[in-house]
Amino acid sequence: MSNYRPHEFAKLIGKSVSTLRRWDSEGKLPAKRGLGNQRFYDDSDIAKALNLELTSSQSNKAIIYCRVSTNNQKPELETQIKSMETFCLNAGIPIEKVLKEIGGGLNFKRKVFINLMKSIRIGETKHIVVAHKDRLARFGFDFLEEFASWYGCKITVANQESLSPQQEMVEDLMAVIHCFSSRLYGLRRYKKADLKKFIESIDKPT
């Protein structure tokens, strides 16, 4: 019978080391202990892990993620949540919890969004439901969907465009324009400063 270190066993069963730690602490799949209290697993744990995976997939529930850009849109946020709950009910999708957030679609440092990505990374989230692609991010949804698939997570898009206000898109586009215009302005200033230094260096007596 072969023994496996945590990182070896995690790779063998397609899980993360963090998931193994969680299973260990919850008593679902306790690790064996060797010399120096080092954790390890053996072949008998493979079947146990597969049974855990089967049970987990059977009871898998979806996380609804809802977002608006500003505090003024809080009523729209509540409407979005109710619409997504109705969508899941009609589609027969069991709901684990609802996550809601206020923040721009161009901001990838939103706290709830970051925590959601982390939960995908460690294998805790297997299904996400959003009203529209831009609820997760205004740009780059295809990458986020690919990222989620790496860790066995599915993203369902209800595609309810009425829940993605046109004003939000205008604000995001204005943010992009402002960002690039600021960079261009800074670049122009940088060039002018270099030119001035060059002229001053020519005027200096040798």
Positions marked catalytic: 69
Rounded Cα distance, 162 and 147, in Å: 27
Structure tokens at 2: 């072969």
Largest CA distance in the chain: 84
CB of 45 within 8 A of CB of 29?
yes
Q: In Å, how far are 65, 81, 92, 105, 109 from 115, measured between CA atoms? A: 12, 19, 26, 16, 10
CB of 125 within 8 A of CB of 116?
yes
Name the pairing type of β-strands 62-68 and 39-42: unpaired
Cross-strand partners of 155: 128
State the burial class of residue 178 (Cβ atoms within 10 Å of its Cβ: 0-12, 13-18, 19+).
exposed
Rounded Cα distance, 142 and 165, in Å: 21
